[in-house]
Amino acid sequence: MLKLKQSFTILVAFFCLFAFAAKDAYAATPSASGSLPRDLSTGVFTVTITAAGISDPQRTKGAADPAGDAERLAARVKLYLNDNSTPLPYVQDPAGTIEFFVRFVSFEEVPENLTFKHIYTVEVVATNTTALATAAGTGTVKSVNIKFAYTLGGEEVLPQTANFPIVQDSYVINQVPEFEDAAIFGGHRSLTVNWKVPGDVDALSGTTATKKTPNKMLVFLIDSEVITTAELSASKYSGTTTADTSSPCQLSLTGDDAQNCVTCAEGVYLNEAKQNGITYRVADVKDGKATFVNVENKRGYFALLQYEPDGIKRTQCLVGIPTANKSMTELNGAGDATVVDFRCFIATAAYGSQSHEDLKYFRKFRDEILLRSAAGKDLVDFYYRVSPPAAEFIAAHPTLRSIVQSALYFPLQLLKLADPWY
């Protein structure tokens, strides 16, 4: 019994320290990344902007922002190009008096150390074929600068940032990415695409073979009920960035060989281009996954991967189907969830498996006791919001997992004794 009390004391102390360490994390910090296309005449480049360290009150204020993806982006983000004092607009000017506008690609909210990280991926689109080349300058290395300000619920979370350079890459990746064994995970109205994190891979700089570490993964998701055949924007690698030319790839989901749903000529890379029925995500390679939300349940989506900087080889297409099953918070009135990895809950992290026999007692207590009262529902919802960072930390430290298991032993015995009575 003394050991159990000691274990519980250690566990409480750990969470207190965890919360104390996180209390100063509420000052949001910015970052931005992306690259210019090798073929500047495409007139489109993708930028991923991140506001990390968003507090729960700030996040709550953001719930009052417009509901539509594009409208919400416009309310939250002011994006500036090359030190212009006027932010880029979010609609193309019919009169043609602007050179660039911003287009929504994706949004992701990630719990992180008791705060939240907001990640927006956007396209900056030129309105003519020479505007991007002009903006990128005449130097040997082509680049533009972007900066942004971030607002939630009318409150400025991040003032206008310093410049982040967006540079044109001088090489291409010449290797096929690899899906993880569990390549696609389907959640309620969500799909997570998983890949193996590489080290150095084959690349070409000019015509010289070399090794490079890719920093981004371009993940395409194709809705099979919206689009079955299409011409995809792509360019052919020439060895020099000024000579890459358009060479469209072909999408076909109508044949028997759906795995090879995209065919391209040799040495061709897909461009970052959103079109009806096709969306994409530019994710950090080291993350090993990208999540798409607000997709339709029980519908087939095809995913394929291509490294960034531009990869002239890509994976086959694999299909994933979002499930109609909802999480417990959704069943009790919450909105659609992003993908939840069940290993991200503290008890499951301690046991190392979501299928462990003991976990059924904790789940039953949640479902049959806590979720039958308003206070219990609030407690469960709070737990789901704050537990993922702690669970991730616990799962990565075997000693801590043992401590948490020990702390859970006595409550588990009580639940087993009470099990027949509720």
What does each of the 422 residues of the chain score in pLDDT, given as a tens digit? 444 444 444 444 444 444 433 333 347 899 999 999 888 888 999 999 999 999 888 999 999 999 889 999 999 999 999 989 999 999 876 566 788 999 999 898 888 777 889 999 999 999 888 999 999 998 888 999 999 999 999 999 999 999 999 999 889 999 999 998 878 887 778 888 999 999 999 999 988 999 999 989 999 999 989 999 999 999 999 988 778 889 999 999 876 677 789 999 999 999 987 788 999 988 899 999 998 888 888 888 999 999 988 999 999 999 888 876 554 444 444 444 333 333 346 776 676 655 567 777 887 887 778 877 878 777 877 776 677 667 767 766 777 777 887 888 888 888 888 888 77
Burial string for 191-227 (b: 16+ CB within 10 Å, else e) reads bbbbbeebeebebbeeeeeeebebebbbbbbbbbeee
Decide whether 24-168 matches 172-320 in CATH topology: yes
pLDDT at 259: 79
pLDDT at 142: 93
pLDDT at 186: 79
State how far the Cα of 238 lies from the Cα of 205, in Å rounded to an integer.
Answer: 10
State how far the Cα of 99 lies from the Cα of 94, in Å rounded to an integer.
Answer: 11
Environment class of residue 112 by beta-carbon count within 10 Å: exposed (0-12), middle (13-18) or buried (19+)? middle
CA dihedral 97, 100, 104, 105 (to 10 degrees): 140
State how far the Cα of 245 lies from the Cα of 251, in Å rounded to an integer.
Answer: 19
State how far the Cα of 238 lies from the Cα of 69, in Å rounded to an integer.
Answer: 37
The domain spans of the chain are: 2-23+325-421, 24-168, 172-320
Best CATH choice for the domain 172-320 from the list 3.40.50.2300, 3.90.550.10, 2.60.40.10, 3.40.50.410: 2.60.40.10
- Tell me the β-bridge partners of 46: 35, 123
State how far the Cα of 169 lies from the Cα of 277, in Å rounded to an integer.
Answer: 28
Burial string for 269-291 (b: 16+ CB within 10 Å, else e) reads bbbbbbeebbbbbbbbbeeebbb
DSSP label of 314: B
Q: State the architecture of 24-168 in CATH terms.
A: Sandwich (2.60)
pLDDT at 196: 94
pLDDT at 356: 67
pLDDT at 351: 66
Q: Coil, strand, or helix at residue 94?
A: coil
Q: Coil, strand, or helix at residue 385?
A: helix
State how far the Cα of 301 lies from the Cα of 278, in Å rounded to an integer.
Answer: 10
